[in-house]
Amino acid sequence: MSLTLSEVMRIAALARIAVTPQEAEAVQAQLNGIFGLLEKINAVDTSGVEPMYHARDVTLRLRDDEVTEPDRRAAFQAVAPQVEAGLYLVPKVIE
Amino acid sequence: MKWETVIGLETHVQLSTRSKIFSGASTAFGAPPNTQACAVDIALPGVLPVLNRGAVERAIRFGLAVGAEVRRRSVFARKNYFYPDLPKGYQISQFEAPIVQGGALRIVLADGAERAVRLTRAHLEEDAGKSLHEDFHGMSGIDLNRAGTPLLEIVSEPDMRSAAEAVAYARALHALVRWIDICDGNMQEGSFRCDANVSVRPRGAAALGTRCEIKNLNSFRFLERAIEYEARRQIAIIEDGGRIELETRLYDPDRDETRSMRTKEEAHDYRYFPEPDLLPLEVSEAWLAEVAASLPELPVARRERYVRDLGLPAQDAATLTASRETADYFEAVVAGLAEAEPGGERPAQAKAAANWVAGELAGALNRTGVEIGASPVAARALARLIARIRDDTISGKIAKEVFDAMWAGEAGGENAADAIIERRGLRQITDAGALERIIEEIVAANPAQVAEYRSGKEKAFNYFVGQAMKATKSKGNPAQVAEILKRKLAG
């Protein structure tokens, strides 16, 4: 299995990473190298093996439903690029 | 061609926990922007999610209530997309192994028929924040108070065939999540949000048509109208030789139409993968048993009990189990009535109680916007009022006057009805002699109408009933009045 150049561009677009056509060829070679490793894993016969969801064989610890976090808006917003009326301002995301 | 509409619903139910699903920030509604958004919610580097037991417990409650499989081991996943109100760049959700799998919701349609709508799954996830696109010098404002609020996304199978069925399902689901105390059901505040998947196909066809997903359906009325509009739109396109595009559409209530949400190409590639920051979630048998034991009697069980033990029609039973508060009130009226007339027939008592709770009382609650739990007329007081109709102290018509007086607080306590009946002198005239005298006078005073009636004009009878009621100030026992009139008019 290997990736085409257009698939590389698509993955880059989804990840919001700007990749020039020249860079894309290098990235394609690197990614296909990784796919080579994956193919080795794929070649292993896993029939009858239960899927593993996590590398550690322990389960989740839960917290009680209690409010423990105080309001720290002032501290958080002190390092935000732009705020107004308690809101974080970002470039407009709707036409 | 005859067309059939096929509908499946995805509902986001906001779980009623005090704190968020992965952080200890408060979920209270209406706080100033970003005052309930902690380091985890705004995704500062290095933070880790810690799952809220209360959110899991509510998901289990739901799974048990719909007869679904509650997975002993479920897994969280990352759903990746970029939007400023999702600061991590992914939403933590469940994909491959959701906590609740399958199950069904039983709904009652307008004609009293019952149907089961199958559920595909229900999974836990976090809500995103809110984007405000108003006037911020060409920028958007982001409020992350809602970010991390626990949601249960409940997905139905495409089992509904009309807008009315979809609304019946949504209402039943809304009632259930409130009934089992996992959601406050407040639709204005976004605690219960529906998306509808709608497609059409020729009636009798086996394959499903291409569907469109309609978003922004925050009331049952909008849900109904949006589905009706969307089905008409799709049928018109196909009949004109066109094809339906798989897309997401937004319902605009002002124009009563759906329109395409311009989504960028590839926007729907969420690249789910297992969330490495969370281990698999395990639900033990002991926990499951504990939650099962804490569940109240469910609406379906009550509905069946009302039909089986109280002899109520299915539609009445469904109306009365629309909320736990209504059902509890109804049962208190039935109990009060059984106490007021110990020898009375239970089905008749129950039917009278049902009529009053679903009729006069529901009407007054609707008019005034009062919740049934805060009704100025208590269940036992209403039971005493109904008992006075049943023992012929007052007529049904006078009872409405007494009810209004009770509602207005003219008298309080369990015996408010009796106090008002006495004070206003509303006791029914059942003295046959007195009624006969009054009716004889009326008959004697209206020879023209008597002649009309005797010539076969049955309608004239109503004129006499009206006159008799007027003469008795509505206090004549209606059955007795009718009986005496028939006798006197027969001549």
Q: Does B38 touch chain A (CB under 8 A)?
A: yes
Contact between B358 and B320 under an 8 Å Cβ cutoff? The reply is yes
In single-letter form, the type of residue at position B161 comes to R
Domain-wise residue ranges, chain A: 5-42
Q: Which residue of A has its CA nearest to B90?
A: A15
Query: Alpha-carbon dihedral of residues B144, B62, B157, B203, nearest 10 degrees?
Result: -110
Confidence of residue B491 (pLDDT cuts 50, 70, 90): low
pLDDT for the residue B58: 98
In this structure, the answer to whether residues B213 and B326 fall within a common structural domain is no
Any alpha helices (H) in B189-268, and if so which ranges? 220-239
Q: Which residue of A has its CA nearest to B267?
A: A14
Residue A67 has its nearest CB partner, among B18, B51, B53, at: B18
B372 touches chain A (CB under 8 A): no
What burial class does residue B136 get, using C-beta atoms within 10 Å of its C-beta: 0-12 exposed, 13-18 middle, 19+ buried? middle
Whole-number pLDDT of residue B35: 98
Residues B369 and B479 in one domain: no
Reduced to 3 states (helix: H, G, I; strand: E, B; else coil), residue B318 is helix
Partners of A16 on chain B (C-beta within 8 Å) are: 82
Residues B329 and B212 in one domain: no
- Average pLDDT, whole number, for chain B? 92
Q: What is the ipTM of this complex?
A: 0.88
Q: Are B6 and B160 in contact (CB under 8 A)?
A: yes
The number of angstroms, rounded, from the C-alpha of B379 to the middle of its chain's C-alpha atoms is 21
Residues of chain A found within 8 Å of residue B143, distances taken between Cβ atoms: 86-87
A74 is written with which tokens?
Answer: 């002032």
Looking at the structure, tell me whether residues B254 and B345 fall in a common domain.
no
Model confidence at B265, pLDDT cuts 50, 70, 90, reads very low
Contacts of A63 in chain B (CB under 8 A): 24, 50-53
Kindly state whether A52 is in contact with chain B, defined as any CB-CB distance less than 8 angstroms: no
Q: What is the pLDDT of residue B268?
A: 66
Phi, psi dihedral angles at A79 (to 5 degrees)? -105, 10
Spell out which residues of chain A touch residue B82, defining contact as CB-CB under 8 Å. 16
| Contact yes or no for A92 and B25 at CB 8 A | no
**Mind listing the pLDDT tens digit for each residue in B347-404?**
999 999 999 999 999 999 999 999 999 999 999 999 999 999 998 888 888 899 999 9
List the strands of the sheet with B130-136, edge to edge: A83-84, A87-91, B139-143, B130-136
| Residues on chain B touching A64 (C-beta within 8 angstroms) | 52-54
Q: What are phi and psi of B282, to 5 degrees?
A: -110, 135
pLDDT tens digits for B404-422? 999 999 988 889 999 999 8
Q: Which helix (H) or strand (E) holds B306?
A: helix B299-310
- The answer on B135 and B21 residing in a single domain is yes
Contact B279 A60 (CB under 8 A): yes
Contacts of A77 in chain B (CB under 8 A): 34
Decide if pLDDT at A40 tops 80: yes
Q: Same domain, yes or no, for B190 and B126?
A: yes
- Distance CA(B49)–CA(B286), nearest Å, equals 25
Domain region containing B465: 432-489
Q: Which of A14, A54, A87 sits opposite B266 (nearest CB)?
A: A14
What CATH class has A5-42? mainly alpha
Q: pLDDT tens across B108-151, in order?
A: 888 878 899 999 999 999 999 999 887 788 899 999 999 999 99
CA distance B435 to B412: 32
Choose the weakest-confidence range: A40-49, B7-16, B116-125, B425-434: B425-434
| Statement to judge: residues B415 and B474 lie in one domain | no
pLDDT of A55 over the 80 cut: no
Cβ <8 Å between A65 and B23: no
Which CATH number fits the domain that encloses residue B459? 1.10.10.410
Which residue in A has a C-alpha nearest to residue B277's C-alpha? A54
Using a CB-CB cut-off of 8 Å, the residues of chain A touching B83 are 93
- pLDDT at residue B208 greater than cutoff 90: yes
Q: Which of A54, A58, A60, A92 to mutate to test the interface with B (most CBs of B within 10 A)?
A: A60
Query: Is the per-residue pLDDT at A87 higher than 90?
Result: yes
User: Do B338 and B369 fall within a single domain?
Assistant: yes
Residues of A in contact with B132 (CB under 8 A): 87
* Measured distance CA(A82)–CA(A90) in Å, rounded: 8
Q: What are the two backbone dihedrals, phi and then psi, of residue B197, each rounded to the nearest 5 degrees?
A: -95, 115
Together in a domain, B136 and B113 = yes
Q: Is A14 an 8 Å CB contact of chain B? A: yes
Question: What local confidence, expressed as pLDDT, does residue B167 receive?
Answer: 96
Nearest chain B Cα distance for residue A16, angstroms:
8
- What are the tens digits of pLDDT across the range B266-297? 456 889 999 999 999 999 999 999 999 999 99
Residues B198 and B167 in one domain: yes
- Give yes or no: residues B271 and B211 share one domain: yes
Q: What is the CB neighbour count within 10 angstroms for residue B325?
A: 15
Query: Last residue of some domain: B291, B308, B327?
Result: B291
Looking at the partner chain, which of B37, B51, B83 has a beta carbon nearest the beta carbon of A60?
Answer: B51
Total structural domains within chain B: 3
Inter-residue contact B9 to B170 (CB < 8 Å):
yes
